[in-house]
Amino acid sequence: MKVFITDYGFSDINQEREIIHCAGHHLSAGQCKTPEAVLAAAADCDALLVQWAPITAAVINGLKQCRVIVRYGIGVDNVDLAAAKARGIPVCNVPDYCIDEVADHALAMALSLARQLPQIDCRVRGGTWKITPDRPMPALSAMTFATAGFGRIARAVLARASAFGCRLAAYDPYVKPEVFAANGVTQLTLEELFAQADVLSLHLPLTSQTKYLINASTLAKLKPTAIIVNTARGGLIDTFALAEALQSGVIAGAGLDVFEPEPLPDQHPLRHCGNAILTSHVGWFSDQSVPKLQRLAAEEVVRALRCEGLKNQVNK
Rounded CA gap, 299 and 297, in Å? 5
Side-chain-facing half-sphere of 210: CA atoms under 13 Å:
18
8 A C-beta contact, residue 146 and residue 170: yes
Q: What is the enclosing helix (H) or strand (E) of 15?
A: helix 14-22
Q: Is 29 exposed, middle or buried (0-12, 13-18, 19+ CB in 10 A)?
A: middle
Distance of CA 162 to the CA centre of its chain: 22
Q: Write b or e for each residue in 106-126: b if 16 or more Cβ atoms lie within 10 A of its Cβ, otherwise e.
A: bbbbbbbbbebebbbeebeee
The span from the first CA to the last CA of the chain, in angstroms, equals 24
SS3 144: strand
Query: What is the set of active-site residues?
Result: 233, 262, 281
Rounded CA gap, 104 and 266, in Å? 27
Q: Write b or e for each residue in 222-249: b if 16 or more Cβ atoms lie within 10 A of its Cβ, otherwise e.
A: bbebbbbbbbbbbbbbbbebbbebbeee
